[in-house]
Amino acid sequence: MYAAMGALGLAPSGQDKQFAAPRPGDFALRGKAAAKVVILGAGVAGLIAAYELGKAGYDCTLLEAREKAGGRNLTLRGGDRLTELNGPAQEVTFGEGVYFNAGPGRIAPWMVTLDYCRELGIPIETFVNNNASAYVHTNGQTVRARTARADMYGYVAELLAKATNLGALDKTITQDDQERLLDFLRRFGDLGPKLEYEGSHRRGFVKYPAIDLGAPLDRPGTLRQVLAAGTGRAITNDFGYDQATPMFQPVGGMDTIVARLTEAVGEDRITTGAKVTKITTLADGVEVVHDGGTVKADYCIATLPPHVLAKIPHNLGPQVTAALRTPVPIAAGKIGLEYGTRWWELEDRVYGGVTETDLDITHIWYPSHDYHSERGVIVGYYNTERNAELYGALTPEDRRRRALTQGKKIHGDKYRQNLLSSVSIAWERQPHIQGGWVRWPAFDSSFTLLQRPAGRVYFAGDWLTHLIAWQAGAMESARGAVTQLHQRVLQSP
Amino acid sequence: MYAAMGALGLAPSGQDKQFAAPRPGDFALRGKAAAKVVILGAGVAGLIAAYELGKAGYDCTLLEAREKAGGRNLTLRGGDRLTELNGPAQEVTFGEGVYFNAGPGRIAPWMVTLDYCRELGIPIETFVNNNASAYVHTNGQTVRARTARADMYGYVAELLAKATNLGALDKTITQDDQERLLDFLRRFGDLGPKLEYEGSHRRGFVKYPAIDLGAPLDRPGTLRQVLAAGTGRAITNDFGYDQATPMFQPVGGMDTIVARLTEAVGEDRITTGAKVTKITTLADGVEVVHDGGTVKADYCIATLPPHVLAKIPHNLGPQVTAALRTPVPIAAGKIGLEYGTRWWELEDRVYGGVTETDLDITHIWYPSHDYHSERGVIVGYYNTERNAELYGALTPEDRRRRALTQGKKIHGDKYRQNLLSSVSIAWERQPHIQGGWVRWPAFDSSFTLLQRPAGRVYFAGDWLTHLIAWQAGAMESARGAVTQLHQRVLQSP
């Protein structure tokens, strides 16, 4: 039954079912005391681990090397200061109420992140991840996404309709199915009576209908021109299971998740500015040395990025070190451009969403919140790997300059006008993080090894999941570590 | 230049540019007084006319036959009472903060409606009009939209790739273009290495990836099965220029637009419960008789539905009557189902959006607001014409019963559980409205005739535009009437 539902895509997609949070009753029943746990890193994985263990009364201590909790869940606001390795500090001067999610920015509806938002009372709102009115900029040309999509679908439908009518499918499908297919293609491509693509209102209008019929766009380019435009990647960008519309964000900034978790865990349990320098697993506990002292506990959950963790002296064995060194950190960068007018809404009628480009800025994001307010932050680039390294190596001023030069190709001069301020982040240069996320060359025995504790030290983080770079990964991994640890505590003599 | 921008879909789509609101200065310059205008109907067209004329100091009076302003912009809340022609009244018992937009429910970003939201300080939020996690129910089968889409796109891509490789396009496009096409098809259909569709993660998962790879859905049905499922209409539903994602709604209910307009116009200018019984255009003014008295003014703007207006005695001539009788009223119905738990979010992970069906309920809408709150209203049907007439003819209880029976086919037993209350509307049975909207058999001379005043009587409404059934139509039409009227006043001796 479940499998049949699955085939139709009907099985509930909540991830909840597998996880049972530790409860105080678990101990009461077995006459045990809750253990003491030291958690390395107060990012999302560390906070969730502390939050879930806290439900059963575990005594958790979090050691965070950075100045505040949250890790890559970082929302920047006016008054914040952003430092980076080998670079000048940036002072954020955004106006009141303006924010920039410098790390994760969107949540898919099936992700456990939404369950935590619900549980923690964090209001969510739609994140527009696909906007027909946003642009596609490829091979030097800019068109609205709706136009690119209508043209590509139109021609694909026409070509397949032609091939069908020429008999190319006669050996593949029956005449009845060909009729059904043509019926779909007519609709899919908005084809004319001769099953040809002659343009479509779906492309958009110079002036939309009102009292009059409006002024549709000119006719589309030829098939050759449309194929040469190379918009394919852009218009299929939201097809993936993790990018499909709709997506969501917490109202007021992604770090609301960090704030509510910190509140629930207890701020006094988090020591910030505490860089870990040694990890020792012992027969009866763990010992963690940091800048400010030594913490002894029954267990440890290490949630630092693997490449950071690998450099900390420990007695967990060479296999653990080798495994931690396996995933490759990936550079990722973003710039927040604060404008004094939301011209993208007023002039372009772009309310949220993403412009896809083949430029080194890759994407431009328009804010999905506070529509029609005075100011707004555009994400002027969100790039990874080579492009991110290129921007990361520049000074903040040069990053902005380059982002503006690129964005101007799409938006024209207004992209420079009314710019009030900006702040950019190169995650590979962030102290104690040093990467946007990691890539496993293969999900091999190293990946498997770290799913299990080394002595009394457990590992957790998005990097230990198949949801890398998503907060949901950090959360799922933390739940996994918590489950293992709690079972061990309950079963220990 | 403008035309070239248009071709690329880049021209600003704001409708603003054509309209200049009347200003007090217009009169000061010409030594004229603002005229007195009687507006028939305080729906969106009437309110916008009064609002725009009010900017220049016109003395407007609105006569509204119904008990409150707004017309089809109707949001129902607990404590409201809904009456209909030839049917029992319904008491709305929704919980606090719960509402149901019984009339218009969404706004496309290019529509002038958003300009008014901005101008009137009405906060807007995203209306999810396309949800990959919502369902498609056709031919007795239910699948997630993402699954239906992945399968159809997958097979379309495979068929065209096959045809291409068989040489079917050799006479149509060059080898280079065939390569470009195949590159797109691979991406579009998520095809395997042999350019075959073998299923895709895009279909969704029984269990989404987490620490493990997750459990993808079973393999898709055959091409024949996918074609037979008949999901084509459903998965292209948001392709139109007026349905493309994202869309928007006012925070707190569509009638916030009515509330802010009423405030701006002045509530004292609106006489409710005033049914118009006679309209007379005179050499020097107009005279409108209603239940409660007679209003004399310099001009009249009649914004009633044409089929209602046609029945009111007037001296505007038989051509006007004939023209008013031309458009055909269309039935439209909706039911709001209030649940005590938002099971569609908690269990189905459906946050907003629309399930498309081939049942007589046509659509099911999930609320795009107040996610994760305790209660919520699902639109259990939103249908038109024959289906709407069928439901409209039932008692409210029978409408609910039928809607539940249909919805259960998609959602199972939970569709009946936790149902707290419901309210349904049959627009063709709404007093003084008597239709969801109208259809013009042709946009012929009747349509054109009514764009011009008959004597001193102007006409306005969505029915006089190419944006029928949209508030933007009512707004654009009102602006048109205001512009004509104001020019006449300024030019009159």
- CB contact B447 to A (< 8 Å): no
Please check the confidence at residue A226 and state whether its pLDDT lies above 60.
Answer: yes
Proportion of chain A above pLDDT 70, given as a percent: 96
Which residue in chain B is spatially nearest to A242 when comparing CA positions?
B202
Question: Mean pLDDT, chain A, as a whole number?
Answer: 95
- CB contact A240 to B (< 8 Å): yes
Best residue of B235, B372, B413, B451 to probe chain A, by most A CBs closer than 10 Å: B372
For CA atoms B398, B399, B403, B406, the dihedral sign is: positive
Tokens read off for A33: 């005391």
Which residue in chain B is spatially nearest to A154 when comparing CA positions?
B239
CB environment B143-162: b (16+ within 10 A), e (fewer): bbbbbbbbbbbbbbbbbbbb
Cα(B194)–Cα(B78) distance, integer angstroms: 58
Cα(A17)–Cα(B49) distance, integer angstroms: 55
Q: Are B157 and B226 spatial neighbours (Cβ–Cβ below 8 Å)? A: no
B486: enclosing H helix or E strand: helix B471-491
pLDDT in tens, A265-292: 999 999 999 999 999 999 999 999 999 9
Shortest Cα distance, chain A CAs vs residue B264, angstroms: 19
CB under 8 Å to B118, separation ≥6 — which residues?
A372
Helix (H, G, I), strand (E, B) or coil at B237: coil
Q: Which fold has domain B145-229?
A: de novo design (two linked rop proteins) (1.20.1440)
* pLDDT value, residue A10: 54
* pLDDT value, residue B8: 54
Domain boundaries, chain A: 36-67+254-328+440-491, 77-133+243-252+330-429, 145-229
Cβ distance A6 to B351 less than 8 Å, yes or no, reads no
Nearest-Å Rg of the Cα atoms of chain B is 26
Cα(A127)–Cα(B345) distance, integer angstroms: 16
Best residue of A372, A408, A470, A475 to probe chain B, by most B CBs closer than 10 Å: A372
Residue of B9, B212, B233 with shortest CB distance to A203: B9
CB under 8 Å to B86, separation ≥6 — which residues?
B429
Count of pairs with CB atoms under 8 A, one residue in A, one in B = 329
Unique residue bearing structure tokens 């004094």: A340
How many residues are present in chain A? Answer: 493
Residues of A in contact with B10 (CB under 8 A): 135, 142-144
pLDDT in tens, A23-66: 988 887 677 788 999 999 999 999 999 999 999 999 999 999 99
CATH number 3.20.20.210 is the correct assignment for the domain at A77-133+243-252+330-429: no
* pLDDT value, residue A493: 75
Picking from A304, A303, A302, A299, the residue whose alpha carbon sits closest to that of residue A58 is A299
Cα(B359)–Cα(B369) distance, integer angstroms: 26
Category of A485 on φ-ψ map: left (φ > 0), alpha (ψ -120 to 50) or beta: alpha
CB under 8 Å to A267, separation ≥6 — which residues?
none
Unique residue bearing structure tokens 């070509």: A159
Cα(A167)–Cα(A1) distance, integer angstroms: 40
- CB contact A350 to B (< 8 Å): yes
Residues of A in contact with B185 (CB under 8 A): 156
Q: Give the least confident one: A8-22, A112-126, A285-299, B43-57.
A: A8-22
Cβ distance B181 to A172 less than 8 Å, yes or no, reads no
- CB contact B165 to A (< 8 Å): no
Best residue of B122, B126, B374 to probe chain A, by most A CBs closer than 10 Å: B126
- CB contact A230 to B (< 8 Å): yes
pLDDT in tens, A351-385: 999 999 999 999 999 999 999 999 999 999 999 99
Residues of B in contact with A9 (CB under 8 A): 143-144, 146-147, 203-204, 217
- CB contact A223 to B (< 8 Å): yes
Instruction: Give the max Cα distance, chain B.
Output: 82
Residue of B110, B164, B477 with shortest CB distance to A349: B110
Cα(B18)–Cα(B313) distance, integer angstroms: 35
Best residue of A15, A120, A211 to probe chain B, by most B CBs closer than 10 Å: A211
Residue of B351, B472, B477 with shortest CB distance to A246: B351
Residue of A126, A174, A190 with shortest CB distance to B368: A126
| Residue B83 main-chain phi, psi, to 5 deg | -105, 155
pLDDT in tens, chain B (493 residues): 344 444 455 554 444 467 999 998 888 767 778 899 999 999 999 999 999 999 999 999 999 999 999 999 999 999 999 999 988 999 999 999 999 999 999 999 999 999 999 999 999 999 999 999 999 999 999 999 999 999 999 999 999 999 999 999 999 899 999 999 999 999 999 999 999 999 999 999 999 999 999 999 989 999 999 999 999 999 999 999 999 999 999 999 999 999 999 999 999 999 999 999 999 999 999 999 999 999 999 999 999 999 999 999 999 999 999 999 999 999 999 999 999 999 999 999 999 999 999 999 999 999 999 999 999 999 999 999 999 999 999 999 999 999 999 999 999 999 999 999 999 999 999 999 999 999 999 999 999 999 999 999 999 999 999 999 999 999 999 999 999 999 999 988 7
Residue A273, CA atoms < 13 Å, CB-side half-sphere? 2
- CB contact A245 to B (< 8 Å): yes
pLDDT in tens, A95-105: 999 999 999 99
CB under 8 Å to B200, separation ≥6 — which residues?
B150, B154, B189, B190
How many residues are present in chain B? Answer: 493
Picking from B147, B240, B141, B159, the residue whose alpha carbon sits closest to that of residue B196 is B159
Cα(B438)–Cα(B436) distance, integer angstroms: 7
| Residue B24 main-chain phi, psi, to 5 deg | -55, -35
Please check the confidence at residue A8 and state whether its pLDDT lies above 60.
Answer: no
> Measuring CA to CA, how many Å separate A433 from each of A43, A221, A332, A426?
10, 47, 12, 11
The amino acid that residue A254 corresponds to is: M
* pLDDT value, residue B1: 37
Shortest Cα distance, chain A CAs vs residue B175, angstroms: 11
Cβ distance A232 to B183 less than 8 Å, yes or no, reads yes
- CB contact A12 to B (< 8 Å): yes
Q: Are B442 and B169 spatial neighbours (Cβ–Cβ below 8 Å)? A: no
Q: Are A351 and B246 spatial neighbours (Cβ–Cβ below 8 Å)? A: yes
Cα(B189)–Cα(B198) distance, integer angstroms: 10
Shortest Cα distance, chain B CAs vs residue A14, angstroms: 7
Which residue in chain B is spatially nearest to A145 when comparing CA positions?
B9
The per-residue DSSP string of B43-111 comes to: BHHHHHHHHHHHTTT-EEEEE-SSSSTBTT--EEETT-EEEETTEEEEE--PPTT-EEE-S---B-TTS
Q: Tell me, yes or no, if the two domains B77-133+243-252+330-429 and B145-229 fold the same way.
A: no
Unique residue bearing structure tokens 């492009």: A387
What is residue A96's DSSP assignment? T
CB under 8 Å to B91, separation ≥6 — which residues?
B80, B81
Q: B112-119 vs B256-265: helix axis angle to the nearest 10?
A: 60
CB under 8 Å to B363, separation ≥6 — which residues?
B354, B355, B356, B357, B379, B381, B382, B383
DSSP bridge pairs for A384: A332
- CB contact A10 to B (< 8 Å): yes
Residues of B in contact with A143 (CB under 8 A): 8-10
Residues of B in contact with A132 (CB under 8 A): 244-245
Give B 292-331 residues with CB within 8 A of chain A: none
pLDDT in tens, A432-446: 999 999 999 999 999
The amino acid that residue B181 corresponds to is: L
> Measuring CA to CA, how many Å separate A77 from each of A96, A263, A456, B326?
8, 20, 39, 58
Q: Which fold has domain A36-67+254-328+440-491?
A: FAD/NAD(P)-binding domain (3.50.50)
A438: enclosing H helix or E strand: strand A437-439
Cα(A116)–Cα(A97) distance, integer angstroms: 24
Strands B419-426, B332-339: pairing kind: antiparallel
pLDDT in tens, A382-415: 999 999 999 999 999 999 999 999 999 999 999 9
| Residue A108 main-chain phi, psi, to 5 deg | -80, 150
The per-residue DSSP string of B302-317 comes to: E-S-HHHHTTS-BSS-
Cα(A58)–Cα(A266) distance, integer angstroms: 12
pLDDT in tens, A140-179: 999 999 999 999 999 999 999 999 999 999 998 999 999 9
